[in-house]
Structure 1
């Protein structure tokens, strides 16, 4: 194995080891909460779908990239490649849009009653499932074109210009215009959600600053202070997710814009772009686990049960 393959295998293996267990943990925590308490808050539902989307991205892209780096490239046939590319594009897009939805809802939740966003406090929970279904439909429908161009093998093993090379699959574009059109279409679609995230994050930071100024000048009750701290913590977590996604999205698309200037993209450039396209799947659940009180409570319960088991077994043996 050359140095590039070793670094690639190690990098994607680390992403896989982190992202799959952590995203599963977030999904299971909220699903368990749903069956035990029979209700999930709006933000919880969005985070659960976001964790599922991130989990699918990790399964569909990180694992094949790790295996391909180890030299096993014959993973799929043409149909398998089309399904893999289609699923990756769809779930990665869902990861963007669901992060945006979470950011918008958090901005709405902490906005004052006099805000223009106030009417959305009841509208978003009321139409949440319709919004999520629309996002699934949007990204499924717009991911078909790229998936149709995916193949597992090339004629005469020669890579034609304007081809996305994943080593285990190839996405062909018949000419430069098609390559540019599909690329700019995908970037423009995602950029709408990114811009909206940035605007809402700025609004959240403004509200947090104003809230901090009020807290300094007004002595509030313990209950309101606790509620304020919970809202502040949740808002900061959402802003953190947005900042991370904007950074990763920016790096991904700067690399993509660079590839527009050349007809044949080297494997190293393709690997770096893929890494940043999937990095969010590992970082996002870590932020959720370290900031979400419901997930933390579930972890504490599991830990307490594990600690209680040895005590119970020792009692039975006496």
Structure 2
């Protein structure tokens, strides 16, 4: 009974978390779409944040097993095709999440870099480069996750299956092929995480120098103000740091799941909670740190309070 109740609790938590994440990412996506539409030359980081929000919406929708199954059933797909599409899209969206986060950190480094820095040559065409880079990343992720289409099956009476959700399983893969796919996946993660760590080091140096400059201005009786570049850099640094931590936790849980090679109902829900934590928290960080969004929220709250006073 306790085991069943714990499974229900973890499932409800996963649904609640996904609901908050979808709402936050949708709000962030709509804001940036409006911003990009109104501004002729949007910031490269706005473009990537918009892409990241869309990827996270897809990822959160796909990881809701019941909702995903209902969606595919309404389209009258077979169970086999349901599972292949669901796990393939889940793998692609997770790959795009880490890729777009890495791209965001690199774009921020280029944005704040001085003209003497060799990456500053990309600054004047950064929006174009970001679009091309994201397109290439999409193509690579579509190829890297093609194994999910081959090895994903619906539940059956076969014993050599790894159940990864309520409806879907993975067939037993040849050890050499499995090692190859794991090496590709691990290499991809190591590369992107490594790039994020390097860009984070540069941003920490930038913030340190900016802090020293602020202290100097303060000693000269000049009131220092937090620049938009520093605020944006702090946000990206916080996002990247949180992503790296959650990625490590997700890798541990995923490795545990594959090591067991058996279905434990609570494990997929815990994996979903940990794996979707970044997709849920990151839009909240973006929203709270973006002065433009905060100003809009303040105006909405003020209008609501005024309307409430008029009613009373």
TM (normalized to structure 2)? 0.86
Choose from 289, 297, 300 the match for 2:298.
Answer: 300
Deviation at 1:54?
0.6
> What is the Cα-based RMSD across aligned positions, in Å?
2.9
Which is further off, 279-288 or 123-132? Answer: 123-132
* Offset of residue 235 of structure 1: 0.7
The aligned counterpart of 2:274 is 276
Q: 1:100 aligns with which of 88, 99, 102?
A: 102
Task: Please give the alpha-carbon distance, in whole angstroms, between the structure 2 residues aligned to 1:213 and 1:34.
Answer: 34
Measure, in 2, the Cα distance between the counterparts of 1:308 and 1:104: 43
| Structure 1 residue ranges without an equivalent (≥5) | 69-74
**What TM-score, normalized by structure 1, do the two folds share?**
0.84
CA contact (8 A) 1:46 1:101 kept: yes
1:194 match: 193
**CA deviation digits over 1:46-85, x for unaligned, max 9?**
1010000011111110x226899xxxxxx97111111111
**Number of aligned residue pairs:** 303
The CA deviation at 1:172 is 1.9
Summarize the alignment of residues 3-14 of structure 1 with structure 2, pairs less than 5 Å apart. Answer: 3-14=5-16
- 1:8 and 1:146 mapped to 2: Cα distance? 25
Structure 1 residue 292: Cα displacement:
1.2
C-alpha separation in 2, matches of 1:104 and 1:213: 24
**How far apart are 1:301 and its partner, in Å?**
4.3
What is the alpha-carbon distance in structure 1 between the residues aligned to residue 160 and residue 257 of structure 2? Answer: 15
5 Å-filtered alignment, 1:132-147, equals 132-147=134-149
CA distance in 1, matches of 2:46, 2:15: 29
- State the match for 1:71 in structure 2: none
* Cα displacement (A) at 1:275: 2.4
Question: Among residues 24, 39, 61, which one is paired with 1:22 in the alignment?
Answer: 24
What is the SS of the residue equivalent to 1:32?
A: helix
Which residue does the alignment assign to 2:48?
46
Deviation by residue 1:6-49 (Cα, 9 ceiling, x = unmatched)? 23212202211210100000001111223344442111111010
Q: Distance in 1 between matches of 2:221 and 2:81?
A: 61
Aligned CA distance change for structure 1 residues 135 and 298 (closer, same or farther; 3 Å): farther
Which aligned pairs between 1:153-232 and structure 2 lie closer than 5 A? 153-154=155-156, 156=157, 158-160=158-160, 163-218=162-217, 225-226=224-225, 229-232=227-230
Counterpart Cα distance in 2 of 1:180 and 1:196: 24
Q: Secondary structure at the match of 2:118?
A: coil
Instruction: Give 3-state SS (helix, strand or coil) of 1:51's partner.
Output: helix
C-alpha distance in 2, partners of 1:8/1:147?
28
CA distance in 1 between counterparts of 2:24 and 2:129 reads 28
Report SS of the residue matched to 1:170.
strand
1:114 match: 116
Q: Do the aligned partners of 2:32 and 2:50 also contact (CA within 8 Å) in 1?
A: yes
* Deviation at residue 151 of structure 1 after TM alignment: 1.8
Counterpart-to-counterpart distance in 1, 2:18 and 2:141:
23
Q: Is the 8 A contact 2:203 2:233 kept in 1?
A: yes
Moved more, 275-284 or 192-201: 275-284
- Would you say 1:233 and 2:231 are equivalent positions? yes
